[in-house]
Amino acid sequence: MAGASKTLQLPNPLPLDGGGSLADAVIAYETYGELDEDRSNAILLCHALTGDQYVASPHPVTGKPGWWERMVGPGKPIDTARYHVICANVIGSCMGSSGPASVASDGKPYAMRFPVITIRDMVRGLVALLDELEIETLHAVVGGSMGGMQALSLAANWPERAARVLVIASTSRHSAQNIAFHELGRQAVMADPNWRQGDYYDAADQPDAGLAVARMAAHITYLSEEALTEKFGRNLQDREAKSFGFDADFQVESYLRYQGSGFTQRFDANSYLYITRAMDYFDLAEEHGGKLADAFAGTAARFCLVSFDSDWLYPTSESRHVVRALNAAGAAVSFVELSAPHGHDSFLLDVPALDRVVKGFIQ
């Protein structure tokens, strides 16, 4: 299914948590399905760290299917025959929305001059987009992983903008372990001599080696030990015996190298730095005086939180923490832990039980 690809330059500077604002910010987005006359059937989908607006359309760089094509479309759990679906590329990213690779007022890419952003800044951009589209209240906001952070931020800071909030495999704060993994990735990028302090856009050689290592390290956190063992075990890659060298002897090594190399074809290294930093800064309780329940005080939205038993990046305990805060705030909330072997990536893969939860909550 092909969505309608659009870009919008925001009419006003976008205020930022770090101080100052981002002038002439651009939001790139896709829409699917028709908007009702009363504009009440819109669903906002929020993408994860390395995602983009191509939720159900072929990716323009890789040609691969949209990242949630199995979930979004006519007759699917998020039914585009009934709902108007909007998915926007977050600011700081690299698929059309304003980010480090965008051209600044001096005609050169921002690079590291781009302001450091937060999850709430990303959501400010999404809310500004909704304002321009004249959509006051969403039927639902839906997100997995970093997208779930955006959904929670929208619910906490703009509580009147969404009637339903669906948060999958996510958290209200980044843990020390998650920050540590992200710092490993950032240091891999910045240690690449081709990074050039972020000023590599006009260079022939890009910081692909560092970005590939960052992706490899992150990808391990998206999987479970069970999934890795079942898929690869200790199987050798295209050889009968160990090489006693440092080629990719094992299938799992070859797989990670493939993932890293492919990622560099579609993602910007500086955007990786900025978005991981935004995730590390995310702490919804801290934003609201230190008590998470206060973030949701007085909310009228209905919430649904979903976790996976094999997800060790954002384990079930993180979702329960949010559910307890919602209960304390008197919010209407349902919660389910689903069994799936795929780890954190379960929300993107074939888990029929998730389809039923999404369809039931949305409809």
- CATH number of residue 41's parent domain: 3.40.50.1820
**Out of 139, 182, 342, 344, which one is annotated catalytic?**
344
* Residue 174 annotated as catalytic: no
Looking at the structure, tell me whether residues 259 and 120 fall in a common domain. Answer: no
Q: Under the phi-then-psi rule, with left for phi > 0, alpha for psi from -120 to 50, and beta for the rest, what region is 299?
A: beta
Q: Is the pLDDT of residue 226 over 90?
A: no
Instruction: Quick: pLDDT tens for 90-144.
Output: 999 999 999 999 999 999 999 999 999 999 999 999 999 999 999 999 999 999 9
Q: Is the pLDDT of residue 2 over 80?
A: no
The letter for the amino acid at 93 is S
**Out of 57, 97, 98, 145, which one is annotated catalytic?**
145
Range of the domain at 48: 4-174+284-362
Q: Is the pLDDT of residue 306 over 70?
A: yes
Looking at the structure, tell me whether residues 67 and 35 fall in a common domain. Answer: yes
Looking at the structure, tell me whether residues 230 and 292 fall in a common domain. Answer: no
Last residue of a domain, one of 276, 307, 340: 276
- What is residue 1's predicted lDDT score, i.e. its pLDDT? 65
Looking at the structure, tell me whether residues 84 and 44 fall in a common domain. Answer: yes
Looking at the structure, tell me whether residues 166 and 85 fall in a common domain. Answer: yes
Looking at the structure, tell me whether residues 322 and 264 fall in a common domain. Answer: no
- What is residue 236's predicted lDDT score, i.e. its pLDDT? 85
* Residue 319 annotated as catalytic: no
Instruction: Quick: pLDDT tens for 56-87.
Output: 999 999 999 999 999 999 999 999 999 999 99
Separation CA 286–CA 157 (nearest Å): 13
Instruction: Quick: pLDDT tens for 243-254.
Output: 898 988 888 888
- What is residue 230's predicted lDDT score, i.e. its pLDDT? 85
Looking at the structure, tell me whether residues 116 and 193 fall in a common domain. Answer: no
Looking at the structure, tell me whether residues 295 and 323 fall in a common domain. Answer: yes
* Residue 311 annotated as catalytic: yes
Domain CATH for 245 = 1.10.1740.110
Looking at the structure, tell me whether residues 337 and 314 fall in a common domain. Answer: yes
Number of domains observed in the structure of the chain: 2
**Out of 98, 311, 345, 346, which one is annotated catalytic?**
311
Last residue of a domain, one of 276, 304, 338: 276
Looking at the structure, tell me whether residues 269 and 256 fall in a common domain. Answer: yes
Chain-wide mean pLDDT for the chain? 95
Instruction: Quick: pLDDT tens for 163-204.
Output: 999 999 999 999 999 999 999 999 999 999 999 999 999 999
Looking at the structure, tell me whether residues 164 and 191 fall in a common domain. Answer: no
Last residue of a domain, one of 230, 260, 276: 276
Looking at the structure, tell me whether residues 169 and 20 fall in a common domain. Answer: yes
